[in-house]
A and B are shown apart, each in its own frame.
Chain A
Amino acid sequence: MSSITQPLQETSPETQAEVMISGAEATMRCLIAEGVETIFGYPGGAIMPIYDALFHHQHEVNHILVRHEQGAIHAAQGYARASGRTGVVFATSGPGATNLVTGLADAMIDSTPLVCITGQVFAHLLGTDAFQETDVMNITTPITKWNYQVTEAHEIPVVLAKAFYLAGSGRPGPVLIDITKNAQIQAFSFPAYEKCKHIRSYRPKPVIRPEYIKEAAKLIDQAERPLVIFGQGVILGKAEKEFDTFLEKSGLPAAWTILGMSAIPTDHPNAVGMLGMHGNYGPNLLTNECDVLIAVGMRFDDRVTGRLDKYAKQAKIIHLDIDPSEIDKNVKTTVPVWGDCKETLPMLTDAIQRKSYPDWLKKFKECLEQEESKVIRKELNPSQEILTMGEVINILNSLTGGNAILVTDVGQHQMVTCRYAKFQDSRSNITSGGLGTMGFALPAAIGAKYGAPHREVVAIIGDGGFQMTMQELGTIMQFKPKIKIIILNNNFLGMVRQWQELFHENRYSFVDISSPDYVQVAQGYGIRARSVSERKDLEPALKEMMGSEGTYLLEVQVGKENNVFPMVPQGRGVAEVVLCKEDLL
């Protein structure tokens, strides 16, 4: 007997193009036709036919068996963010599917293209509380760009084509396809696979209005103190070159959001640093002094704007975005430039005059000097004995030359890394921005390595976040992606501790978290590891890590109660950014 994944029967010789195959086999053929090379997944009852089909195709696609489905989806996110391609995930029904929820929410808010395929119970069992039946469609509706339940095999090619088109086009996002087991088993006549290029109810890009470009250019030309703030839209739109050309001609200072970071090199002549709660002093303070604010592919998140009624009230706002629902959502726009920034930026560049703003740029320099004297110097070159997170990143910069992908988790180490990391190339800063998902970094770093195999990938993780998904060390052990892992261990849930110190009068409520012996844990997985706590060992250890061939885990014991500054305290305006604890009042 042939297996269900093998062609069951050839139809008459004349119509040999169409063969009878199972839904599961069709799923694999569709993925291969979409150019999928890597799948992150975990098998189970309801997705077994697809895994059986995968068995026959394992030489064409690389399947990474993770240790938890959350790891699979974060890995797929890391893959997508590093490569610009769509990440693919397999999971079974019920608990397999619900374990994807955090990653879906993360990918949704950070616009990461994913296609997740979940198995589902037989269609006739839907709604009967069958074993491992969960209403995954309704659970995932608010956290997917699109989802669809397949109950008949013949739907698979059309639905998967749609899934890949939707995930990757327009403003990207996660798509979930739930396939009932009967549809995986059912044989049908498989047509030649056709990629989807158009869905009538879906407009990936709004039509560009040249009138707006003209108005925007006029505002920019008239401005005396204009400021560009940019987000991940530049990266997602693959518009890094266009953006660079725009900056070069316009002479505008440009600040990034955490997700926009690395779209231009950190030492770009127009770069003035990072926005946001722990961003740089200058761009936060001067947001409220600019006369025209040009937002490119960013969504005015509250971590960037601080208090909205104190945000850039003096400025005319130009907003370039591909998603019409972002215009005016949080900040009222003067000139909306709807469209793909890969197309709108060159139009805008053509329409503006070449200019420079030496006096205005000097203000950013002055702010940076203040920040350096009050914050940066003591973070990067501390006088006290105990190590800081900043000095670790500083040495790492010199070793990577700004060429590595840094994957961060969530907390103080994330903010410190994004504040001090140097990047030369786009798609180098991978972090959970919108959702702030602890546990993201380790699996995302694994995925990033598959997405960009020729690049160095360094995960930087707190002791809290590492313990959330550290089972993925097992994935590393088995599949051997060569990544570097730095645990910045402050023996606290640092970011929450910082808030408790600053805003809850030092009441440390359950932020004291203990750690296992990470070196032994890593060694248990056959991973080289080392722990350092003294300055003299830090640089040698980092060198050893970067010079080692395989995966390497380095734990760095850092100051327990260091704080991240500057800070825009919650509920304050961006101009109320403070440089140290003493200024918080």
Chain B
Amino acid sequence: MLQQEYTITVYTENQIGLLNRIAIIFSRRKINVESLNTSPSEIDSVHRFNIVITETEEVVRKLCRQIEKQVDVLKAYYNNNEEIVWQELALYKVSTDVIATEVKVERLLSQYGARVVVIRKDYTVFSVTGHREETDRLIQVLEPYGLIEFVRSARVAIIKSSEGFHRKLTQFEYREPASDVVENEFLNQQEKVFSM
């Protein structure tokens, strides 16, 4: 099976220690986490993790089951890059003097989608939001002029086909979970799986 980039989306309770519980599921298996973001979700009390790894689908599916097994985890989904809309944010700090004299700032803004976040006498901070290639491109442009600081955020992703977690959550709140709380990929492949 082919390795590719997967984004895992985890809906959880907001519990101290849960970040560690989830992180060690990867480190125990020596799987490198390329990016990890935790944030609120569309629901007030529910937290949302975005985790990016490069692995085969089989490995990712097993990881999601291990994640879902954790008591404070509501649900874990995994998606490849076609199935999500995603962004990363990068900040670039450069010397204002150099920038002002040597770079066509307007070109930066138009061609690379950069925004100016601050301009001070001594430095200027640009930001770019986008995919990895887009944030990388500006590094290349700015590097010759002395990039003082660079930082890029974790990936945040929205699942294209998701209808959000509101309906799911009400199912979780039932004493007896509704039958579709447990997804089952086997059932959808009935023919393939059950033929002798």
Contacts from A to B (Cβ < 8 Å):
137-138, 141-142, 145-149, 166, 197-203, 206-207, 209, 211-212, 215, 218-219, 222, 316, 323-325, 328-329, 334-336, 338
User: Nearest chain-A residue to B23 (Cβ)?
Assistant: A141
Per-position binary interface string of chain B over residues 6-34, scored 1 when its CB falls under 8 Å from any chain A CB and 0 otherwise? 00000011001100110010001000000
Complex contact A199–B20 (CB within 8 A): no
* Set B24, B175, B177, B181: member contacting A142, Cβ < 8 A: B24
Which residues from A are CB-within-8-Å of B156? none
* Set A199, A201, A335: member contacting B194, Cβ < 8 A: A335
* Segment 167-195 of B: residues with Cβ below 8 Å from A: 169, 172-173, 175, 177-179, 181-182, 184, 186-187, 190, 193-194
Complex contact A209–B71 (CB within 8 A): no
* Set B13, B17, B65, B69: member contacting A147, Cβ < 8 A: B17
* Segment 56-103 of B: residues with Cβ below 8 Å from A: 61-62, 65-66, 68-69, 71-74
- Give the docked Cα–Cα distance between A71 and B82 (Å): 54
Closest 4 CB pairs of A and B: A325-B65, A146-B71, A200-B172, A201-B74
Give min CB distance, B64 to chain A, whole Å: 9
Q: Is the interface of B mostly helix, strand, loop or mixed?
A: helix
Q: Would A201 and B182 be within 8 Å (CB), given that A211-B187, A335-B194 are in contact? A: no
User: Nearest chain-A residue to B58 (Cβ)?
Assistant: A328
User: Nearest chain-A residue to B64 (Cβ)?
Assistant: A325
Which residues from B are CB-within-8-Å of A207? 177-179, 181-182
- Give the docked Cα–Cα distance between A145 and B193 (Å): 32
Complex contact A197–B175 (CB within 8 A): yes
- Give the docked Cα–Cα distance between A224 and B172 (Å): 42
Which residues from A are CB-within-8-Å of B179? 207, 209
Complex contact A198–B196 (CB within 8 A): no
Complex contact A222–B196 (CB within 8 A): yes
User: Nearest chain-B residue to A200 (Cβ)?
Assistant: B172
Which residues from A are CB-within-8-Å of B21? 141
Which residues from B are CB-within-8-Å of A206? 182
Complex contact A141–B17 (CB within 8 A): yes
Contacts from B to A (Cβ < 8 Å):
12-13, 16-17, 20-21, 24, 28, 61-62, 65-66, 68-69, 71-74, 169, 172-173, 175, 177-179, 181-182, 184, 186-187, 190, 193-194, 196
Complex contact A200–B194 (CB within 8 A): no
- Give the docked Cα–Cα distance between A412 and B179 (Å): 46
Which residues from B are CB-within-8-Å of A148? 17
User: Nearest chain-B residue to A329 (Cβ)?
Assistant: B62
Q: Would A324 and B175 be within 8 Å (CB), given that A141-B24, A146-B71, A334-B193 are in contact? A: no
Complex contact B187–A209 (CB within 8 A): yes
* Set B20, B62, B182, B194: member contacting A203, Cβ < 8 A: B182
Complex contact A338–B182 (CB within 8 A): yes
Q: Is the interface of A mostly helix, strand, loop or mixed?
A: mixed
| 9 A/B residue pairs, CB under 8 Å, sorted by A | A142-B24, A146-B72, A149-B16, A201-B13, A202-B71, A207-B179, A209-B179, A215-B194, A334-B194
Complex contact A200–B187 (CB within 8 A): no
- Give the docked Cα–Cα distance between A138 and B175 (Å): 31
User: Nearest chain-B residue to A202 (Cβ)?
Assistant: B71
- Give the docked Cα–Cα distance between A142 and B29 (Å): 12
User: Nearest chain-B residue to A216 (Cβ)?
Assistant: B194
Give min CB distance, B107 to chain A, whole Å: 49
- Give the docked Cα–Cα distance between A385 and B12 (Å): 64
Which residues from B are CB-within-8-Å of A215? 194
Complex contact A201–B73 (CB within 8 A): yes
Which residues from B are CB-within-8-Å of A202? 71-72
Give min CB distance, B95 to chain A, whole Å: 39
Complex contact B71–A141 (CB within 8 A): no
Which residues from B are CB-within-8-Å of A141? 17, 20-21, 24
Which residues from A are CB-within-8-Å of B74? 200-201
User: Nearest chain-A residue to B176 (Cβ)?
Assistant: A207
Complex contact B184–A203 (CB within 8 A): no
User: Nearest chain-A residue to B61 (Cβ)?
Assistant: A328
Given A141-B21, A199-B71, A202-B71, 8 more pairs with CB closer than 8 A: A137-B17, A138-B17, A145-B71, A200-B169, A203-B181, A207-B182, A212-B186, A336-B186
Give min CB distance, A148 to chain B, whole Å: 8
Complex contact B177–A325 (CB within 8 A): no
User: Nearest chain-B residue to A198 (Cβ)?
Assistant: B175
Give min CB distance, A551 to chain B, whole Å: 39
Complex contact A324–B182 (CB within 8 A): yes
* Set A146, A201, A211: member contacting B12, Cβ < 8 A: A201
- Give the docked Cα–Cα distance between A338 and B193 (Å): 16
Give min CB distance, B145 to chain A, whole Å: 43
Complex contact B196–A316 (CB within 8 A): yes
- Give the docked Cα–Cα distance between A201 and B175 (Å): 11
Complex contact A201–B71 (CB within 8 A): yes
Which residue, A146, A166, A201, A211, has most C-beta atoms of chain B within 10 A?
A201
